[in-house]
Chains A and B, each alone.
Chain A
Amino acid sequence: KAGVTQTPRYLIKTRGQQVTLSCSPISGHRSVSWYQQTPGQGLQFLFEYFSETQRNKGNFPGRFSGRQFSNSRSEMNVSTLELGDSALYLCASSLRWEYEQYFGPGTRLTVT
């Protein structure tokens, strides 16, 4: 079974721009979560979607948003990029929220 895939793997953007990251979960998984990983703040939860509904949201500004489609694929969007948004963005999927998560390889976002 294919794992979680994330596209693109690497991205360079300029301050003020917006970016969209994509995540395809493992087949059959309906829960998708997003995390931000930085050297300073570590791994932080962004949001979780299940059946196209946001179930949980972390403590991030409104510039960070996401959505989930009917095929469980998910996207996250960051508007008005700041230098501090440079990070590894990880997507994880699971059957449902009671089950363990499996992570994708991440998207490395660099904001210049």
Chain B
Amino acid sequence: AQSVTQPDIHITVSEGASLELRCNYSYGATPYLFWYVQSPGQGLQLLLKYFSGDTLVQGIKGFEAEFKRSQSSFNLRKPSVHWSDAAEYFCAVGAGTASKLTFGTGTRLQVTL
């Protein structure tokens, strides 16, 4: 069965600093990979996805992620964080389907001014 690990439970960055959130997955073939963001009391918003092709994918709000098969990773990056980026970020993997997702435990991002 597939699994997802987000090793950082909580990260604090200063506004304007760069950000990298880590995600490692376990799955034998090429998975469907996603990053979602959740603000308190809200549902999940899709930031970006990887299905195949170019391993560097661009998403909304200035986020990007890179798929590295050799490291089984799909890390999320942003060059300059804004205070409004404070939220919880979830990495998710789909094994052969994009509609049955296994989620990581999430990384809570705090942004200091």
**Distance in Å from the Cβ of B106 to the closest Cβ of chain A?**
7
Interface residues of B in 35-50 (CB under 8 A from A): 36, 42-46, 49
Query: Are B103 and A103 touching (Cβ within 8 A)?
Result: no
Interface stretch (choices A12-20, A42-50, A61-69, A70-78)? A42-50
B13 within 8 A of A: no
Closest chain A CB from B92 CB (angstroms): 8
How many residues of A are counted as interface, with CB atoms below 8 angstroms from the partner's CB atoms?
Answer: 27
Stretch binding the partner chain, chosen from B19-27, B66-74, B93-101: B93-101
Further pairs besides A98-B98, A103-B45: 5, Cβ < 8 Å: A4-B43, A45-B100, A96-B99, A100-B34, A100-B98
Q: Which residues of A contact B (CB under 8 A)?
A: 4, 31, 33, 35, 42-45, 48, 50, 55-56, 58, 90, 92, 94, 96-106
